[in-house]
Amino acid sequence: MTPQQQAKQASELLTLYREEYKKHTGHGPLLNIAKEKWAARDLIVSFGLEDCKRALSWYFKVNKRYDWKTFTYIADQCISESKSVEDDSLKRKKYRAIAKEWRDS
């Protein structure tokens, strides 16, 4: 991945963070974008853009403190938890279908 693509993806992740923050608090966050792009870039290199986006939306769903630095520190935990919740949801859906089929027969 080229540095330009990394910078574009980092901007995309930070934009998502700013939009979610504004949606939850009513005002925009105070961030040094030039500085935080490095953190966003490192997260994307480590975990991938889609996992970071999923973790960020999960972070805003379960947290009451929407701090960017906190997210960067616990991003790996957010990613693993969001994946486990998604896997659990899929398993429950499968089991409900099996139970419904059993009940109807």
How confident is the model at residue 13, as a pLDDT? 94
How confident is the model at residue 15, as a pLDDT? 93
The residues, ordered by sequence, that sit 6+ positions from 22 with a Cβ below 8 Å of its Cβ are 28, 29
Stretch 2-21: mean pLDDT:
91
Q: What pLDDT digit, counting tens, does each position of 36-93 carry?
A: 999 999 999 999 999 999 999 999 999 888 889 999 999 999 999 989 988 999 999 9
Cα–Cα dist 17/71, whole Å: 10
Whether residue 21 has pLDDT greater than 80 = yes
Stretch 2-9: mean pLDDT:
88
Q: Which structural domain range is residue 54 located in?
A: 3-104
Alpha helices (runs of H) in 1-105, residue ranges in sequence order: 3-25, 33-47, 49-62, 68-104
How confident is the model at residue 1, as a pLDDT? 75
Whether residue 22 has pLDDT greater than 90 = yes
- Total count of domains within the chain: 1
